[in-house]
Amino acid sequence: MADHQAIIQGDLQDQAVAGHQSALGQTQTRVATLPGFVTESGFKFETIEVSYQTLGKLSPARDNAILVCHGLSGTAHVAGLDPTGRPGWWDYHVGPGKAIDTDKFFVIGTNTLGGCNGTTGPLSLNPQTGRPYGPGFPRITVRDMVMAQARLVDHLGLDTLLAVIGASMGGMQALTWAVHFPERVRVCVPIATCTAHNAMQIAFNEIGRCAIVTDPDWNGGEYTETRFPAHGLAVARMVGHVTYLSELAMARKFGRRRQADAADARQFSVESYLHHQGSSFVKRFDPNSYLCLTRAIDEFDLFAAAAPEAVLSRVRARFLVISFSSDWLYPPGQSRELVRLLKRAGIAASYINLDTEYGHDSFLIENPPFAEVLRHFLNGDHPRIHPHHHGEPL
């Protein structure tokens, strides 16, 4: 069945899908150097670098821009192939004729502040020392990430975004956009996310952080390429990866099968898979960045400063909230609670809980029901939210 194929195939972020073709062909990632950025904690960067890519054409009225926010380990490379032939993390859903149609929309992908894929983060050089910030990188918040994105949007010469779409950590960013820039966001699409982590979500992140900081090569975060806490980072990713899947997806994908080509013939396929996930993550992610980002999302609380009705009172965007029934890391109840608060604040919010089996990763893999919802919402919405149709929400 096609459904099972999608589970086995997995996502484009962690697995190089053999022979994956992209209608976008090769796409480019650029870096914008933006002067003067102060974090919420008061840390002053003289400049920040923000990695981004744009796909599709900006309309003459500049009203078709969609900002796509990635999850914990994503990059600016949303769709198309990079020079090595690697597809973007959301190539299944972004491209010509796809759910987020680059023939209609001007799509912006950007790496988050604090990340390690082109945007300023712990790997960046500290101009004071000439060495990477490493563990000295300031604590940042989801709001800081969004402020950096807003600086990029300014840099691109855009006042308003047609939509901000994000899943997981990206969903928190989308929510923050709608709250902090009510005039700049017409549509907000938070996917498989929440307004604040619960104890279980913090707990899984803490297991990951613990694995990293107890690695013998951690050295207080001052590691080197030769003495690198690879083991700790790999274990963190293994735990994380399990939380992104579902019991059913794992049963389908691995069952109790053994890995025939493993050195130890008794090794289960799932063990081999997790080891592979761990070691491939080590090649593309930085441990200090992992700590920085997981801390930021654990600290995130949309309603920390004020009651929901006060926080949401300024919001102007229409919402589409999406959850997945098999997502036990960001369970549908969190999305329903978000929808409840939005509706009670008088915000036009649509909600769908998709009965897909792939767990939290449901948004990352090839998933036709999800793609249909996104496509119909964006296309159905587009004419009605055009400025001259602005007014009473439908």
Partner 1 sequence: MNPGIYATIAQWIPPHSRVLDLGTGDGAFLEQLIRERQVTGEGVEKDAALVTRCMERGLVVHQGDIADGLDQHADGAFDFVLLLGTFQELVQPAEILHEAFRVGRQVILSYTNFGHYHVRLQVLFQGRTPVTPSLPTPWYRTRNLHFLSVADFACFCREAGIRETRRAFFSARREIRWLPNLRAETAVCLLDGTAPPRTELP
**Catalytically active residues, by annotation:** 168, 327, 360
Q: Does 376 bind partner 1 (CB under 8 A)?
A: yes
Piece of 41-49, 197-205, 264-272, 370-378 that binds partner 1 (CB under 8 A):
370-378
Residue from 94, 169, 175, 354 binding partner 1 (CB under 8 A) = 354
Among 4, 131, 284, 384, binds partner 1 (CB under 8 A): 384
Q: Does 352 bind partner 1 (CB under 8 A)?
A: yes
Which of 30, 131, 257, 340 binds partner 1 (CB under 8 A)? It is 340
Minimum Å distance from CB 310 to partner 1? Answer: 15
Q: Is residue 125 close enough to count as binding partner 1 by CB under 8 A?
A: no
> Looking at 115-123, 267-275, 297-305, 333-341, which segment touches partner 1 (CB under 8 A)?
333-341
- Segment lying near partner 1 (by CB under 8 A), choices 122-130, 186-194, 262-270, 337-345: 337-345
Among 7, 339, 364, 365, contact with partner 1 (rule: CB under 8 A): 339
| # binding residues, partner 1 (CB under 8 A) | 28
Looking at the Cβ atoms of 167 and 282, the one nearer to partner 1 is: 167
Q: How far is the CB of 365 from partner 1 (least distance, A)?
A: 18
CA distance 28 to 242: 32
- Part in contact with partner 1 (CB under 8 A); list of ranges 85-93, 105-113, 279-287, 386-394: 386-394
Contacts to partner 1 from residues 280-319, by CB under 8 A: 318
8: how many CB neighbours lie within 10 A of its CB?
Answer: 12
Among 320, 329, 364, 365, binds partner 1 (CB under 8 A): 320
List residues binding partner 1 (CB under 8 A).
318, 320, 336, 339-340, 343-344, 348-355, 369, 372-373, 376-377, 379-381, 383-384, 392-394
